[in-house]
Amino acid sequence: MDQFSTPRQAEILDTARALGRVSVDDLAARFEVSPQTIRKDLNELCDRKLMTRVHGGAVIASGVENVAYEARRFISQPEKRAIGEAAAKLIPNNASLFINIGTTTEEVARALMQHEGLLVITNNLNVATLLYRQPKIEVVVAGGPVRRADGALIGSATVDFITQFKVDYAVIGASAIDDDGALLDFDIREVRVSRAIIDNARQVMLVADRMKLERAAPIRIGHLGEVDVFVTDELPSQTLRALCKTEAVQLVEVGRQE
């Protein structure tokens, strides 16, 4: 029990593992303590990188297993929406693009709904659902097995499908970004699809909020130097900022006021 200040913190962590997300108010009622006490518990768990704070509560955090997809929607939600809108503005009408799996890439798709003449190839069923009704956007869904957890199409069949195309833009996400510029994820099958997407696009756009700099993941997608545009809410890392400059990566910070 030396990992936790109180037995309550262990229970909070177990609850978060089961539900994906926990709220301050629910936990305060369950344990019959004040919201301030729960916030202190959550802050301590986050300091140990066992959880990640979201508005009103927290979600489970792990360096070897991703946060549940529905729970990830709550993490940095306003920032992801702003990133999606900024990224969409950089994509012109009458363009072809890949959009891969991710809650931030879905926000890009949402912001593209009024575009015209787009060809969108995606391995993300959520993106396809958002866009297929738009009369001026053609949607092509990659083949392969569907991952039930998030609606991603992954595997060798998906990679083979992606490599048939050469598109103008790739919109990709990452689960974690190391300070050396490594882009990381959790599932080797998903990473192979992301690699194929990067390799078959003329311009690569990375969309990721600053929380990805605080996370760890075990599998390398690629490097920030392979990216043409990096859209984020804020980039506090001076090392990555310098890397963007050295590698001629266009940095767009939607939360930064010039």
Q: Each residue of 212-228: pLDDT tens digit?
A: 887 888 999 999 999 99
- CATH code of the domain occupying 77-253: 3.40.50.1360
Which ranges of 154-254 would DSSP assign to H, the alpha helix? 156-162, 188-199, 238-246
Across residues 103-108, what is the average pLDDT?
94
Residue ranges of domains in the chain: 7-61, 77-253
C-alpha to C-alpha distance for 56 and 58, rounded to whole angstroms? 7
Across residues 99-128, what is the average pLDDT?
96
pLDDT given for residue 214 in this prediction: 78
pLDDT range class, residue 76, cuts 50, 70, 90: low
Q: Each residue of 174-227: pLDDT tens digit?
A: 999 999 999 999 999 999 999 999 999 999 999 999 888 878 889 999 999 999
Q: How far is CA 240 from the centre of its chain?
A: 18
C-alpha to C-alpha distance for 64 and 80, rounded to whole angstroms? 23
pLDDT given for residue 164 in this prediction: 97
Which tokens hold the place of 82?
A: 């702003």
Q: Is residue 1 scored above 80 in pLDDT?
A: no
pLDDT given for residue 258 in this prediction: 46
Q: Is residue 63 scored above 60 in pLDDT?
A: no
CA-closest candidate to residue 98, choices 165, 185, 184: 165
Looking at domain 7-61, which CATH architecture does it have?
Orthogonal Bundle (1.10)
pLDDT given for residue 243 in this prediction: 97
Q: Is residue 112 scored above 50 in pLDDT?
A: yes
What proportions of the chain, in percent to the nearest 5, are helix, strand and coil? 40, 25, 35
Across residues 156-164, what is the average pLDDT?
96
pLDDT range class, residue 64, cuts 50, 70, 90: very low
Q: Each residue of 123-149: pLDDT tens digit?
A: 999 999 999 999 999 999 999 899 888
> Whole-prediction pTM value?
0.78
Q: Each residue of 3-15: pLDDT tens digit?
A: 678 899 999 988 8
Question: Of 59 and 38, which is predicted with more confidence?
Answer: 38
Q: How far is CA 123 from the centre of its chain?
A: 14
Average pLDDT, the chain: 90
